[in-house]
Amino acid sequence: MVRRRGWLIGAALAYLLAAWQAPPGFYDGFSPQRPYNWVSPPPQLARGNKPPQSAIKVVSVGEAMASGVQVQTADQQASLVIPAGALQPAPGATAVTIRIDPVSAFPDPHGLAFETNVYRVRADAQLVKPMSVALTFSNQVPAPSTIYEARMGDTTWRPLPTQSAFIYQLDGSATDFGYFVGALPPQRRTASGSPLGSQLLLLVVGGLIFFVLLAGIPYLMLRRRSHRSDGS
Partner 1 sequence: MARLLSRSRLPGLLLTAAVGVEWGRALVERLPSLALPALFVGGLALGGLALLVPREALGLSRRALPARALSGGALAAVLLLPAAARSFVPVPLTGLIGLGAAMVAAGEEIAFRGALYAALRSAYGPAAAVVGSTAAFTAAHALSHPPRFLLPVAGLGLLLGLWRWAFDDLLAPIVGHVVADLAL
Q: Is 190 in the site for partner 1 (CB under 8 A)?
A: no
Contact 128, 164 (CB under 8 A): no
Tell me which residue of 84, 95, 87 sits closest to 61, measured CA to CA: 95
Give the sign of the dihedral formed by CA 210, CA 145, CA 169, CA 117. Answer: negative
Number of residues that bind partner 1 (CB under 8 A): 55
Q: What would the x/- binding string for partner 1 be over residues 47 to 86, using CB under 8 A? A: ----------------------------------------
In the window 193-222, what residues touch partner 1 (CB under 8 A)?
199, 202-203, 205-210, 212-214, 216-217, 220-221
Task: Choose the stretch contacting partner 1; rule: CB under 8 A; options: 55-63, 89-97, 107-115, 135-143.
Answer: 135-143
Smallest distance from the beta carbon of 13 to partner 1, in angstroms?
Answer: 9
Give the sign of the dihedral formed by CA 46, CA 115, CA 203, CA 189. Answer: positive
Angstrom distances, CA of residue 124 to CA of 56, 57, 59, 89, 90: 12, 11, 11, 7, 8
Contact 186, 111 (CB under 8 A): yes
Task: Using CB under 8 A, list all residues that contact partner 1.
Answer: 1, 4-5, 7-8, 11-12, 14-32, 34, 139-140, 142-143, 163-167, 199, 202-203, 205-210, 212-214, 216-217, 220-221, 223-224, 227
